[in-house]
Amino acid sequence: MDVIIDTNVFIQWERSHRTIDFSQWEGYGKTAMSVVTASELLVGVHRAQTEEQRTRRSAFVAAILTHFPIIEFDIEIARVHAELFALLASKGQQIGAHDLIIAATAKFHDSAVLTSNAKEFQRIPDLFVLEPT
């Protein structure tokens, strides 16, 4: 089982100024991200408050985008997404639109999701959720 990393995990690392280290999750296989995570990280660059922050974020995001594989949102993942959306809507348990894309990506690829937002992702049936420590 591989691991799809949620945006908030990268944001926590950027804010902490620590080196990104996923060694504690090596046993789960390869790490990757959804294309929506790449977009959210790039939005963070554009929303920086100062030029210094923008420069720092830009370098951080560039390093992430170079290091981690990005999984595209294709028609097969869209099918999983639609099924999950309908299921959660019928239960009145919707999650954020981007989180649902990330969850669908993980489900399609039989991967876990590493997230600081476990409560939301745990609404997805049979999705293995990991939390950073």
Determine the Cα–Cα distance for residues 131 and 128; give it in Å rounded to an integer.
10
Average pLDDT (53-73) is 95
Among 47, 60, 69, which Cα is nearest to 20's? 60
Using one digit for the tens of pLDDT, what is the confidence trace for 93-122?
999 999 999 999 999 999 999 999 999 999
CATH code assigned to 3-130 = 3.40.50.1010
Other Cβ atoms closer than 10 A to 16: 9
Is the pLDDT confidence value at 21 over 80? no
The pair of structure tokens assigned to 133 is: 């420590």
Q: Any idea where the domains of the chain sit in the sequence? A: 3-130
Average pLDDT of the chain to the nearest whole number: 94
Specify the pTM. Answer: 0.92
pLDDT in the model for residue 97:
96
